[in-house]
Amino acid sequence: MTLSITRIDDNSIPWLEISVKFGFQSLPFILGKQSTANWPAVQNWVLPDGKPNKEFLKKNYGNSIVPILVNGTEYESTTLTEFIDNMKDPEVYLKDWHFQNEYGTSMYKLHPFFSRDFVNCEKWTTDKTENPFGDDYRFVYIGAAGSWTKFHADVVSSHSWSANICGRKKWFMMPPGSEELFKCTSSESGYVDDIRKFPDLFEQAKVISFVQEPGEIVFVPSNWYHQVHNLEDTISINHNWMNSTNLGLVNDFLMNREQDVRHELRDCFDSFLEDEFEEKVEELLFADARLNKKRFLKLCDLVRQSRSQSNQKYTCDIHGSEIWQCISSPPCYPSITSICQCSTSFCSKCLGFIENLEYSIACRYL
């Protein structure tokens, strides 16, 4: 028997409650369609019958060069118009289109929980020389019925969220560690491409299977492996992101991957001076993970600087000013969720708390 996922259909639930229950504890959830009902993307990109408004998309964005994944293996480029005019083949999937870099974010508005985003929602996001990632991680996906993404976890232990603008998706998701049941030495990723071929493992792997309806947003916590199938012609807006709740997991990922890189380079060690070897490790780590130790520390410093001017100071009765420890401390949760009842915006109390938490977690790694 598979497990279920929590659906949140009540707009009045405080965002801090959502953050503590799901962000702090790395648990997935679905935010109901009320959260996107007023998005211009939902109003303009979708026809009354629920299908993509192809003429609107072509008229407004048709000349854009977009990436398409062919047969699940190779990326090619084409115009949005050409893709839409041939949007019948499920083996061709428009993925990872940096729509927001071209057209901004006016087509949607983030829920407060999703807006605490060090990758995409900061002043350094649009400055490629300042951004530690070199680019944003905000994407639009468009896929015909039958298109799908292989079994995977998101890049560099990031969280992700995916909002269905139109269409329905079938998801398969599992908690960290369960992916080991699906290891495969013949696959480039190290795991099977399609877990549907192994239904006998679902109960042991604690697989959560569900359908995402139009307008709903799925939160995928760090390190939760998943596989997604478009049941209908589908458009989604997606972010990969980091914040106070998963920065520690990102650090752990980088430390583990750095050791892997050092191991891979062990036979070449004598070919480098010490500084050159360290530079090579950083270079390969970034090529592999799109982040490395130096860039991670830069991100932490950017967060520290931007949060150091917070007008309020929050301290914990248990952990004092080191409130990053509250994330993994259930006794702290009631006091955090009692700070305020804000659901769709920030007041000075909850904003002060989250800025202090972000400052604390950033300083932990500096």
DSSP assignments along 250-309, one per residue: HHHHHHHHHHHHHHHTGGGGGGS-HHHHHHHHHHHHHHHHS--HHHHHHHHHHHHHHHTT
Most confident of 69-78, 95-104, 127-136, 261-270: 95-104
Task: Select the more confidently predicted residue: 240 or 127.
Answer: 240
Query: Which residues in the chain are classed under CATH 2.60.120.650?
Result: 6-241
pLDDT at 62 over 70: yes
High-pLDDT (> 90) share of the chain, %: 85
pLDDT value of residue 77: 97
- Residue 39 phi, psi (nearest 5): -70, 130
pLDDT value of residue 189: 83
**360: its two tokens:** 């604390």
Cβ neighbours of residue 219 closer than 8 Å, sequence gap 6 or more: 22, 28, 29, 30, 31, 113, 114, 159, 160, 161
* Model confidence pLDDT, tens digit, residues 295-330: 999 999 999 999 998 778 899 999 999 999 999 999
- Residue 193 phi, psi (nearest 5): -75, -35
pLDDT value of residue 17: 97
pLDDT at 238 over 70: yes
Asked if residues 139 and 105 have their Cβ atoms less than 8 Å apart, the reply is: no
Q: How far apart are the first and last CA of the chain?
A: 45
* Model confidence pLDDT, tens digit, residues 150-201: 999 999 999 999 999 999 999 999 999 999 999 998 888 899 999 999 999 9
pLDDT at 1 over 60: no
Task: Select the more confidently predicted residue: 73 or 91.
Answer: 91
Decide: residue 274, CB within 10 A, 0-12 exposed, 13-18 middle, 19+ buried: exposed
* Model confidence pLDDT, tens digit, residues 245-285: 999 999 999 999 999 988 888 777 777 877 888 898 999 99
pLDDT value of residue 275: 82
pLDDT at 51 over 70: yes
**275: its two tokens:** 């500084």
Integer Cα distance of 119 and 159 in angstroms: 11
pLDDT value of residue 327: 97
pLDDT value of residue 26: 97
* Region 126-149 average pLDDT: 92
Please give the mean pLDDT across all residues of the chain.
94
Q: How is the beta sheet containing 169-174 ordered, strand by strand?
A: 148-152, 225-230, 169-174, 208-212
pLDDT at 7 over 80: yes
Classify strands 29-31 and 208-212 as parallel, antiparallel or unpaired.
Answer: unpaired
CATH superfamily assigned to domain 6-241:
Cupin (2.60.120.650)
Q: How far is CA 311 from CA 98, 308, 320, 339, in A?
A: 35, 9, 17, 16
* Model confidence pLDDT, tens digit, residues 293-304: 999 999 999 999
pLDDT band at 2 (very low <50, low <70, confident <90, very high): low
pLDDT at 217 over 90: yes
pLDDT value of residue 120: 96
- Residue 180 phi, psi (nearest 5): -60, -20
pLDDT band at 129 (very low <50, low <70, confident <90, very high): confident
Asked if residues 81 and 63 have their Cβ atoms less than 8 Å apart, the reply is: yes
pLDDT at 43 over 70: yes
pLDDT at 235 over 70: yes
